[in-house]
Structure 1
Amino acid sequence: MAKLNVGLLFGGRSGEHEVSISSARAIARALVTAPNTENYALRPFYIQKDGCWQTGAIAQQVLETGIPLPVDESMGATRLSLWQFPSDVADVDVWFPILHGPNGEDGTIQGLLKLMQVPCVGSGVLASALGMDKIAMKSAFAQAGLSQVDYVTVTRTEVWSNPCVFPKLCDRIEAVLGYPCFVKPANLGSSVGIAKVRTRAQLEAALDSAASYDRRIIVEAGVTAREVECAVLGNDQPKASVIGEITYSSDFYDYETKYTEGKSRHLIPAPLSSEVVAQIQDMAIRAFKAVDAAGIARVDFFYVESTGKVLINEINTMPGFTATSMYPMLWAASGIPFADLIDRLIQLGLERSQE
């Protein structure tokens, strides 16, 4: 049988460009490792920070070095506009879009790949969009009856346009949530633009900062809880992994802590009772179905040990595959090695396209 050409799509126009490259490097190594190398042929496609697509030797160089391509040079190749794609796009049998954040994990690329009528690893447009937009995500979780922290939604207009409205907005947030609370742009991933605030002055500064990232903002109540995660794998009959716990010494699980080795510690499996584990796994699968996810997702929770409550935090429909990423580690601890996991994800993408 001929090998399937896997279009590994990475880089992208988001603040998580470098993380995407790291994830792609790990996946590429798995694809050229037996037995995957007997079934798949790697076809790298790199999207520069300006949106230009590169393939062939240039994309391979980025994979090998892990260094992003500067947008002001094309390494001697013809630069392609946003509306042109490399000719070898037509050779791809299945896409693996390991893009994180806006313009890659939010349904935009998923819609493009759907128009190409080629199978794709991961969720489609709807689940990807819901998984990226924290406000829409929480609405879907509420509809599914999943317990969450209290939150307040805010618009950029409320923050910037009327100086008379802003103090009243802060009054409302303080009354509903109190301190500490977290201010987050609605549509950025990996803790980008997030601030933990404890005072009115910090709240005002955080809202102003978040409004510079997104026109929609969410403010969540802070809770004293253990942060635990569950990986999900499958399509219509998804399976949940063992549970992992994240511990860290920083104030919260910010971008630097998340992607710097040694800044956080992963406990897999998490030291939890079998009853709590079963509850988290059940909620993870319910969340997966609530947004109509496919193939892959990581679902994050707060476990409030003092009350025994489990609160869902968010779903990530294209989690990282870096050296510090929880998703592949959770499945490795559940009995699925990295290379096998990549194979399963590709097969799930093919299965979903056949439906």
Structure 2
Amino acid sequence: MELTLVVLIIIVGLTFDFTNGFHDAANAIATSISTRALTPRVALAMAAVMNFCGAFLGTEVAQTVGSGIIGAPEDESGLLLVMCALLGAIGWNVFTWWRGLPTSSSHALIGGLVGAALAASATVHWSGIVDKVVLPMLLSPLVGVALGYALHVAILWVFRRSTPRRTMRRFRMAQTVSAAAMGLGHGLQDAQKTMGVIVLALVTAGWQDDFSVPVWVIAAVAAAMAAGTYSGGRRIITTLGRRIVHLDPPRGFAAETAAAAVLYTTAFLVKAPISTTQTITAAILGAGATRRASAVRWQVARSIVTAWVLTFFGAGIPAAAIYLVLHAVTGL
């Protein structure tokens, strides 16, 4: 039974990572597509490759997710808990993708873990959640808005004497670099969360003693995310690229560069699992607000923020319900 559960967790974990890829593909490429710096096919291919490469850049965030969120029981009930957390997160990802809302796959996963853990009466590391999840969740969008705004203001000043046509052409080319940096940062951040959950299952089953991430886990997660990214996510690409604010190449470059900077800083220095979706959305809002505040479609922004707030509950409650049902059926 233990072997079956571990295999199921790995399969469900890779499925979640696939949904993470197509759900969050917009994070890296929506601005580049909306400004016509890249075609959708080229942008998706580049994002998939950079996601794959980014997954190999570090494992600090994976260890935070694996050991710092919950303490799963070291028996088969702990494995059931992990699987239900993944199912809850997948359900929320699919629902918000269908609605075209750019919510956080990262926070869906963490919400699923907490919801299933509460249903199982397992340990929840609330201090770790506050330090590594809640505070970064609140601060990263604020930093993204400020950086996106400041960077575009700097661009406007530096290129104030340039001809508009030449400036637009230059920044369309520059967006290839900034979109690649964003794709790499997405792979660095989001792939590690699934790695952490799979390693949590391996530790819970007693198959390894620490939360170090095996190479085969990194490779499998990277491949699943890359495949999901290439499959697209055009509903959310439309929301991020066009419905929030009209972007031109300089604003797109500013938003992508600001968001990538936040992703790298939190992954390498803070070691916190932040949301790439929240970060790029905030950076887009900041860059777009340099035109004027009314240029931002605040009603769409409010819908996105509401979905962010509901993400923990939207993934956590189904995860808890699935655990209770399976626990009653299987007796685990």
- TM-score scaled to structure 2, two decimals? 0.26
More strand by share: 1
Higher RCO structure (Cα 8 Å, ≥6 apart): 2
From the CA coordinates, give the structure whose radius of gyration is larger: 1
Higher helix residue share? 2
- TM-score normalised over the length of structure 1: 0.24
